[in-house]
Amino acid sequence: MNKPLIKLSLLSALLISSQGWCGNTSVDLRFGHNTNSEANDSRIKVMHQADNGFYFSVEAAQTITIRFLAIPIATVPMIKA
């Protein structure tokens, strides 16, 4: 077979179909604090709807739990002058 002809056919098919991958892309970025569990989380989601009907989305999330050192006021000694 003629390899340049096969390469040209594959390249032309790729170029013709690449226009269908154009479309709308949206990004959703969120930072939150859950007061019930004291967990901070950050999320990013990328969604793409192609003109050829194909849809895909990617989401990543990270949860960070930070505990702060708290000293109750009742245990702090009072200093009298």
Domain for residue 39, yes or no? Answer: yes
Q: What's the average model confidence in pLDDT over 17-30?
A: 76
Residues of the domain holding 26:
21-66
Answer for the pair 44, 28: CB distance below 8 angstroms, yes or no. yes
Candidates 59, 49, 46; CA nearest to 21 is 49
Domain count, the chain: 1
CA dist 65 and 45 (Å) reads 21
Domain for residue 78, yes or no? Answer: no
* Cα–Cα separations (whole angstroms), residue 69 to 21, 37, 41, 56, 75: 52, 16, 20, 43, 14
Domain for residue 75, yes or no? Answer: no
User: What does pTM read for this prediction?
Assistant: 0.47
pLDDT digits (tens, 9 = 90+) for 45-60: 888 888 878 888 888 8
Whichever domain contains 57, its CATH number is 2.20.25
